[in-house]
Structure 1
Amino acid sequence: MDYTNYGLQTILSHYAEENEKYLGAAAVPIFETSTFVFESYEDIDEAFSHKNKRYIYTRGMNPTVEILEKKLAALEKGERAKCFASGMAAISSAILNVIKAKDHVICVKNIYGPTYNFLSKYLTKFNIETTFVNGENFEEIKEAVRENTSLIYLESPNSLIFMLQDIKKIASFAKERGIKTIIDNSWASPVFQNPLEMGIDMVVHSASKYIGGHSDVVAGCIVGNKDIICRIEENEYPLLGGILAPFEAWLLIRGLRTLEIRMEKHMKNALAISEFLAQHPKISKIYYPGHPSHPQYELARKQMKGFSGLLSFEIDCDIEGVKRFINNLKIIKLGVSWGGYESLAFPPVISYSKEIPAERFKDYGIKPGLVRLSVGLENVEDLIDDLERALSKV
C-alpha cells in the first residue's frame, strides 16, 4: 500500500512496512545479520550486478535499515535517504561527496562544533578553504563566493544562539551558480522544516536527537535526490564504513512512531518556558526562534511549521553564578546532548573554553552566563519550578 499521500503520523506508523513479508509481525523485524546467503551461483552473480538493490552484506544494504531510510526520505520530502552510525558520519560523508581538493566552502558561523572542526581543520590537508559567514546576512554569503566555491553549508537554526538563514533565498542563489547546498536540519526535525522543498540539495540529521528521541541511540542520515544518494552509496558510505547497524535502525523506527507527537509536546513546553524566562529578572536574553523576541521570528514562522524544544538563555551572572544554577537543578539534568525525552541543561562555556580559541569564543557572541536547555517531555509546571528554584540561588 502506498502511504506517501497520507498524513505525517500515518507515514510514521506504516510507510515502507510490508507486514505480510514478516509473517504478519506488527513491529519491524531486526535483521541482525552481517551477510546474506544465496541458492545458486547464478543468483549471487545476479545480485552483484545490482548491488544497490540486493541484500549481499549489511555494510551495503540491510532490510531493517532500508525501512528506516524509506521513512526518513518520505518525511523530508526527498527521493532517497542513507543512514549512518553517527550524525558526524553523515555530515562528513555529505561534505566529502561534494568537494574536491582545492575547493572553497562557505559555511555559517556558530555551527555544531565537530562540523566546524572538520571544515576548518581536517579539510585543510586537502587545500580546501572554508569561509565562515554571518548566515543572517545574505550579502555576506554572496560576497564570499569565489570561482572555486563548490558548497554552501547551512545550519538553520544554528547552534547555541539559534539564528536562521533564509533557506529558499540561499538555495536559489546557489543553484544559479552551480554551487551545492547542505543543511543540518536536526534542530527543527522533518516535522517542522523540510529544506529540500526550498531548494536545498542535501539535508543531514543527527538522528540521535529528535528522530531517535529516547537518548539510547547514536545515528545520522542524509536525504536528497536519487543521484546524490547513489553516489554516496558507491563512495563515502561503503568506503568510510560509518554504516548504521540493524538494531540501531530498529530503535530509530520505534522512535519515529511518536516523532510528531513528541515534537508537539517539546514545542508546547519550550514555548511556555521561553515565556517564563523572558520575564524573569535574572535572565538578560533568550535565544528561541519560537518566541516573538527573536529578531528573525517572522522568518522562522515563514519557513518552519513549528519549533523544537532546544533553546538557550543568558543568566546575568559570572561563571560562579552559572555553577550555582546548574548545581541546584533537580529535574533538569546536566548533559551534552539534546532532543531526548528528558530535559538537559548545558553551559557551553565548559566545552568552548577548552576546545576553541578565545577569540572565536568571543566572536560567537557567547557570554559566560549562557545556558543551553533541551526542553523534554516532563510536566512543564515542574520544569518551570525547577528553573525558578535554581535561579533563586544565583
Structure 2
Amino acid sequence: MTNDETKLATLLTTPAAGHGTVTPPIVQTSLFTFEDYDGLVARMAGQSDAPIYTRVQNPTVAEFERLMAQAEGGEAAIGFASGMGAIAAAILAFVQPGQRIACVEHVYADTYRLLERMVRPMGIDIDYHPIGAFEDQPDLLKGYALAYLESPNSLVMQVMDLQRVAGYALRHGVVTMTDNSWATPVFQRPFTLGIDLVLHSASKYIGGHSDTVAGVVIGSAAHIARIRDLTLPLLGAKLAPFEAFLLTRSLRTLHLRMERHQATADHFLDRLRQEPLVHRIHSPGPDAVPGLTGRAGLMSLEFDPGVDIPRFCNALRIFRLGVSWGGFESLALPAQASLSQAGQHNSMQRFGVSPHLLRLSLGLEDPEDLWRDFHQALQQGIA
C-alpha cells in the first residue's frame, strides 16, 4: 500500500480540475456562469455541485481541500482565509445561545479572545478546564454542546489523550474539535482518534513558507456540510485561489519539512537538558499520548529568573523575534512581551504563563548554527 508521504508528493490533480496537470491551475475568477437555465436551476436547487461563486466554491480551493481531507483521514474539508476564520466558522456552526462550551486551558490567545469577546456575549457559556480534567473525569462534558481542544495546547505544550476524551464526548453527545496545527497530519490524526473536527492554522506548518495566511477544517461529510451551508457563506472568510495553490504546493514537502523540524528539535533538546539556565522545557515527543508519533519544531522553555530576557532577545542573530511559527525561519517569542499586552482578555495572564517563558520555532536552518546563536545570546543575557 502506498504510504501517505508518497500520496501527497505524487498525487495529481483531478482530471476535471487540472486536465492531468501536476499542480492545480489557479482558477482566478469570482463568478462561474451556466450554459443554460436548467443548469442554473439545478445548482440553485442543490442538485448539482457545479461551482457558482468563489466565496463558497472554487476548483483550486477544492483541490487543496481534497488533499487536506486525505492527509487527515477525514471525509471532507473547507479552506478559509485564516486560521481564525476556520476556528470561528467551526465554533459558530455548532453552538447556539443558551448552550455551553468546554475549552482547554492555555488555548490559543485569539481563540480565547473570540470566545470571551464575541461568543460569550451571544449568551453562550464557556468553561475552561485543565487537560487532566478532560482525561480523568468521564462526565465532565455532560451538558456541553461543544468541546474545544488543543493537543498540545498553546505555549506550555501540554498534550491530551484525544481518543479517551473523544470517547467521553461521544457518550454525552458532545461535538469535539481540536487544533492540530502543531503536529500536522504527519505526526497526529485526531479525526482517526474519534475527534469530530480538526482545525489548522494553515499559515503554519501546512504553508511552511511564511507567505500565506489561511485555515482549514476537516471532518465528516455531514459536519463539513453544516459549516459549508451556514458559516462559510455567511461569515465570508473564504480561501482565495492563489493561497490554495501555494498551500497545495507546500503539502508536497510537508513530510520532509516536519522530519527536519523534528531533527532540529531533538538536537536542541539534547543541548537544553544540559543547560543550567533552562529550568523547564515544554516539547512533547513521540508516544507522549496515544496517536502522537513525532515532535514538531515548536517548543517553549523557562529560563532561570537571572536571565535578562530582553538582553537575550536583542543578542540573537539568526533567530528573529516574531509572533507566528511553522515557517522556514527560526523565531523566538518571549512571554514577557505578550504578558504586557493591555486589556482584560489576556489569556496568558488568565492561565498563569510564566514571565520567564520563551517560545522557540525552530526552522530549516542548520541545527548547529541555531544552537550557537541561542547559546551566545544566553551568555549575553546573564552578562
Looking at structure 1, the residues matched to 196 and 190 of structure 2 have their Cα atoms a distance apart, in angstroms, of 9
131-140 or 93-102: which moved more? 131-140
Q: Cα offset for 1:47?
A: 2.6
Alignment pair present for 1:65 and 2:61: yes
Structure 1 unaligned spans of 5+: 291-296
Q: Cα offset for 1:368?
A: 1.8
Structure 2 unaligned spans of 5+: none
**Fraction of identical pairs, as percent:** 42
What do the CA deviations read for 1:257-308 (whole angstroms, capped 9, x no partner)? Answer: 1000000000000111122112112111111112xxxxxx7533x3211111
Looking at structure 2, the residues matched to 303 and 141 of structure 1 have their Cα atoms a distance apart, in angstroms, of 20
Looking at structure 2, the residues matched to 230 and 21 of structure 1 have their Cα atoms a distance apart, in angstroms, of 21
Q: Cα offset for 1:361?
A: 4.1
2:115 corresponds in structure 1 to: 119
SS of residue paired to 2:299:
strand
SS of residue paired to 1:89:
helix
Q: Cα offset for 1:23?
A: 5.1
Alignment pair present for 1:262 and 2:257: yes
The total of aligned residue pairs comes to 381
Looking at structure 2, the residues matched to 360 and 22 of structure 1 have their Cα atoms a distance apart, in angstroms, of 44
2:284 corresponds in structure 1 to: 289
Q: Cα offset for 1:99?
A: 0.6
1:293 corresponds in structure 2 to: none
Looking at structure 2, the residues matched to 260 and 174 of structure 1 have their Cα atoms a distance apart, in angstroms, of 31
RMSD over aligned CA atoms reads 2.0
Contact 2:339 2:346 (8 Å CA) reproduced: no
Contact 1:347 1:372 (8 Å CA) reproduced: yes
TM-score (norm 2): 0.94
1:161 corresponds in structure 2 to: 156
Looking at structure 2, the residues matched to 126 and 52 of structure 1 have their Cα atoms a distance apart, in angstroms, of 35
Looking at structure 2, the residues matched to 363 and 58 of structure 1 have their Cα atoms a distance apart, in angstroms, of 40
Q: Cα offset for 1:358?
A: 9.9
Alignment pair present for 1:172 and 2:178: no
TM-score (norm 1): 0.92
Q: Cα offset for 1:355?
A: 4.7
Looking at structure 1, the residues matched to 348 and 220 of structure 2 have their Cα atoms a distance apart, in angstroms, of 37
Q: Cα offset for 1:365?
A: 3.7
Looking at structure 1, the residues matched to 336 and 47 of structure 2 have their Cα atoms a distance apart, in angstroms, of 47
Contact 1:312 1:373 (8 Å CA) reproduced: yes
Contact 1:136 1:166 (8 Å CA) reproduced: no
Listed as ranges, the matches of 1:379-394 within 5 Å are 379-394=366-381
1:90 corresponds in structure 2 to: 86
Using a 3 Å threshold, how does the CA distance of structure 1 residues 23 and 120 change in structure 2: closer, same or farther?
A: closer
Listed as ranges, the matches of 1:48-63 within 5 Å are 48-50=44-46, 53-63=49-59
Q: Cα offset for 1:135?
A: 0.9
Instruction: Read off the aligned partner of 1:387 and give its amino acid letter.
Output: F
Using a 3 Å threshold, how does the CA distance of structure 1 residues 387 and 25 change in structure 2: closer, same or farther?
A: same
Contact 2:31 2:54 (8 Å CA) reproduced: yes
Equivalent of 2:186, from 182, 191, 194? 191
